[in-house]
Structure 1
Amino acid sequence: MALNREWHRLHRMPPQATREQRIRWHVAHAQACACRAIPASIKSEVEKLLKPRRAK
């Protein structure tokens, strides 16, 4: 998977991110870059949010 350096530069994960912030960041990341897998601890929640967006 290719790394989108520009996206990563502009979209840093907040320090000590909350669970909600991590989920939102990974949703955006999956759409813009997807250079790595979604962590198992939040994967189901991220995928729920991605499904409606991918169906469009």
Structure 2
Amino acid sequence: MLHEPLHFRFARSVNIQWHSENLAPREPTSNDGLSWHLRHAIRCNCYRLPGEVARELERRQIFAYISDPD
């Protein structure tokens, strides 16, 4: 089954409320870490997905495209 890619806008600003309510897991499993980073990309976008996370998403065929606001 084909899925549309997820598109997120890279905002370069911190959503302080989101961060205070969604602390990154201290010792995340692979799934926990990926889940947090995807939720972060949707709600905050204060930085790009780390390369390791992006590679793991690609390996799992979960595609997310982050675009610069420029």
Give the structure, 1 or 2, with the largest relative contact order (CA under 8 Å, sep 6 or more): 2
Q: Whole-Å Cα distance in 1 between the matches of residues 29 and 22 of structure 2?
A: 15
Q: Report the alpha carbon displacement of residue 37 of structure 1 after superposing the two structures with TM.
A: 1.1
The unaligned stretches of length 5 or more in structure 2 are 1-11, 66-70
Q: Report the alpha carbon displacement of residue 48 of structure 1 after superposing the two structures with TM.
A: 1.8
Largest Rg, 1 or 2:
2
State yes or no: 1:40 paired with 2:54. Answer: no
Which TM-score applies when normalising by structure 1? 0.76
The unaligned stretches of length 5 or more in structure 1 are 52-56
More strand by share: 2
Moved over 2 A (4+): none
More helix by share: 1
Give aligned-pair identity as a percent: 24
| Number of equivalences | 51
RMSD: 2.1
